[in-house]
Each structure stands twice: as C-alpha cells, then as structure tokens.
A = this chain, B = another copy of it.
C-alpha cells in the first residue's frame, strides 16, 4: 500500500484537480476570462489548467479557493470523502458576501436559531 506515485498518478491528479476547479467555477457562474483576470493569467492558461494540461501553483490554488469559497483541501481532493464546505454552503456564502454587515449579523442569528432548533446535526 501507499505505493510511490508514478508520473501517471500525477497526470490523473492534475486532471481531477482541473475538473474540480471547473466545477467550482461553473457553479458560481464565472467565465474563464473572469477567473483568469483575477489570477492575472491568460484565459487559455485557465483552459489548460481545467483540462489538466498546466500545473497549478500553490499560491494560485489558494487564490482560487478563496474566489470559489472552497477549502484548498477540497480542491486538491485531500480527503476524497470528507470535503470542505458542502456545495450549497459555498453557494450561501457567496450570496451572503455582499450583504450588509447588519444583514449578515441577522442571518447569523437566524443560523443560530436553526442550529439550536435541530440540535446541531453532523
């Protein structure tokens, strides 16, 4: 078990990373062009990233995790099973991001209420 990673393992891992990055982007309804501009890379570079043809730098990865509201662990498939935030939570976070501070606080209180009501499940 835990064999030494081969070059092909790398390619597979890169492809899966690219797929997750693409999924996350489309989920937020962003264009390659927009994300590429955010990362300050060319659009075709993002095409290559999402198809696993270009390496992703660690810093780029953290920036993407922020933009996509996902943990870097999820994007890298760190724990194939237990992901970072559930996708609907990420969606919520995005919608919440441009609410006013007061509204966010009110939403937080409501979240607390829901949590206490159902006893904070797993």
Residues A99 and B121 in contact, CB atoms below 8 Å apart: yes
Given the known inter-chain contacts A14-B59, A57-B58, A76-B58, please indicate yes or no for A85 contacting B97, CB distance below 8 A.
yes
Instruction: Indicate which residue in B59, B73, B115, B122 contacts A55 across the interface (CB closer than 8 Å).
Output: B59
Binding site for B on A (CB under 8 A): 5, 10, 13-14, 17, 55-63, 65-66, 69, 71-73, 75-78, 81-82, 84-86, 88-93, 95-101, 103-108, 110-112, 114-115, 117-118, 120-122
Residues B73 and A72 in contact, CB atoms below 8 Å apart: yes
Q: How many copies does the complex hold?
A: 2
Instruction: Indicate which residue in B65, B101, B105, B118 contacts A100 across the interface (CB closer than 8 Å).
Output: B118
A62-B77, A95-B111 known, 6 other contacts, Cβ within 8 Å:
A14-B59, A90-B93, A92-B107, A95-B112, A98-B115, A103-B118
